[in-house]
């Protein structure tokens, strides 16, 4: 029973990481698309992506990681305290980076193509930041959690990550986020991101 529950909770976390990775990859493609076509709906799509990050990872996923996963590890071992502290700092920094991205996008919308290099740099910086963050969680924290957390811990984590979520204070908000994610993925340009 412990193994099945652990796999379920971890699969949810990895799936959520994968979703955010696809959004971040999409942001890179969108900013490249902006350079090619000023008439595309790219700015609106970028805003939808930023909204998704603020509403899902920042308001739901990260707080649950901190409370259940990081908190559980802190109760069981001090081996990961430094990494957990770094990840919590990164969660806070991620929100600040999203605000910086919104400001860069607004400047682009108001001033035009001259502001595109700054926007692209912010997107690239965020993509690098998130890739490092995800790697640290998946290569250090999840393996440590598998070693140190108990079956009871995993049941609680599984319940937390599998529970109905209500970030927009409506009964349909989780469905709305899924719809927003699907819309973003369907609307993203098919071009490959530039290196």
Give me 24's structure tokens: 């971040």
Q: Which domain holds residue 89?
A: 2-187
Give me 184's structure tokens: 């973003």
Asked if the model's pLDDT at residue 21 lies above 50, the reply is yes
Q: Residue 15 — pLDDT band, cuts 50, 70, 90? A: confident
- Dump pLDDT digits (tens) for 1-13: 344 444 588 988 9
Residue 78 lies in a domain: yes
Sign of CA dihedral 38, 183, 48, 53: negative
Q: Residue 107 — pLDDT band, cuts 50, 70, 90? A: very high
| Burial class of 36 by CB neighbour count within 10 A (0 to 12, 13 to 18, 19+) | exposed
Please, what is the average pLDDT of the chain?
Answer: 84
Residue 73 lies in a domain: yes
Top pLDDT among 137 and 41 is at: 137
Q: The CATH number of the domain where 58 resides is what?
A: 1.20.120.520
- Dump pLDDT digits (tens) for 30-40: 998 888 876 66
**Structural domain count of the chain:** 1
How far is CA 130 from its chain centroid?
8
Top pLDDT among 193 and 154 is at: 154
Asked if the model's pLDDT at residue 189 lies above 60, the reply is no
Average pLDDT, integer, range 47-70: 91
Whole-structure pTM value:
0.81
Residue 88 lies in a domain: yes
**Report for 84-88, 110-114, 153-157, 164-168: range of highest mean pLDDT:** 84-88
Residue 194 lies in a domain: no
Which among 103, 138, 109, 137 has a CA at the least distance from the CA of 122? 103
Residue 195 lies in a domain: no
Residue 193 lies in a domain: no
pLDDT at residue number 177 = 53
Which among 114, 123, 115, 117 has a CA at the least distance from the CA of 45? 123
* Least confident segment among 97-111, 143-157, 162-176: 162-176
């Amino acid at each position: 029973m412990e193994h099945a529950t652990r796999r379920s909770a971890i699969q949810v976390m990895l799936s959520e990481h994968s979703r955010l990775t696809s959004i971040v990859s999409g942001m890179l493609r969108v900013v490249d698309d902006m350079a090619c076509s000023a008439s595309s709906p790219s700015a609106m799509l970028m805003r939808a992506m930023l909204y998704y990050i603020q509403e899902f990872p920042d308001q739901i996923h990260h707080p649950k990681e901190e409370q259940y996963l990081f908190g559980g590890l802190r109760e069981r071992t001090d081996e990961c305290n430094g990494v957990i502290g770094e990840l919590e700092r990164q969660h806070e920094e991620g929100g600040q980076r999203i605000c910086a991205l919104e400001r860069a996008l607004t400047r682009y919308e108001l001033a035009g193509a001259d502001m595109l290099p700054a926007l692209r740099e912010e997107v690239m910086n965020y993509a690098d930041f998130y890739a490092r963050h995800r790697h640290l969680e998946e290569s250090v924290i999840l393996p440590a959690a598998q070693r140190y957390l108990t079956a009871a811990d995993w049941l609680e984590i599984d319940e937390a990550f599998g529970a109905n979520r209500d970030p927009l204070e409506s009964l349909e908000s989780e469905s709305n986020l899924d719809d927003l994610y699907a819309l973003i993925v369907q609307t993203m340009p098919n071009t490959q991101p530039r290196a």
